Amino acid sequence: MKKYDVVTTISYPRKGAMGKTGSWRVFKPILNKERCVKCLRCWIFCPEGTITIKPDGSIDIDYEYCKGCGVCANVCAVKAITMEREEKK
């Protein structure tokens, strides 16, 4: 990737360019894998790309970067994702 040397605000695309944004979370999405039908609506709608698809087609949530916005829970057709208040560590 080409890097620029001018002093201004440039952000280069990479995972976690803005730091560990998972620390912003208040509510945490919890996936019920038995209910999940792998339709991938959550994967389509997640604004941060934190829904990952495993080789077997099942999904996972990357809590390092999930900000807890709740969009996935909202769009889930079978209500397999619930938002739970997270205790501060």
With CB under 8 A as the contact rule, the residue among 8, 47, 54, 56 that binds other proteins is 8
Q: Let me know the angle formed at the C-alpha of 50 by 48 and 52, rounded to the nearest 5 degrees.
A: 140
Contact mark string toward other proteins, 9..38, x via CB under 8 A: xxxxx---xx--------------------
Tell me the C-alpha distance between 34 and 59, whole Å: 12
With CB under 8 A as the contact rule, the residue among 7, 34, 57, 87 that binds other proteins is 7
Q: To the nearest whole angstrom, how small is the minimum distance from the Cβ of residue 45 to other proteins?
A: 21
Q: Which segment (2-10, 29-37, 54-62, 78-86) binds other proteins by CB under 8 A?
A: 2-10
Q: Return the number of other C-beta atoms located less than 10 Å from residue 4's C-beta.
A: 8
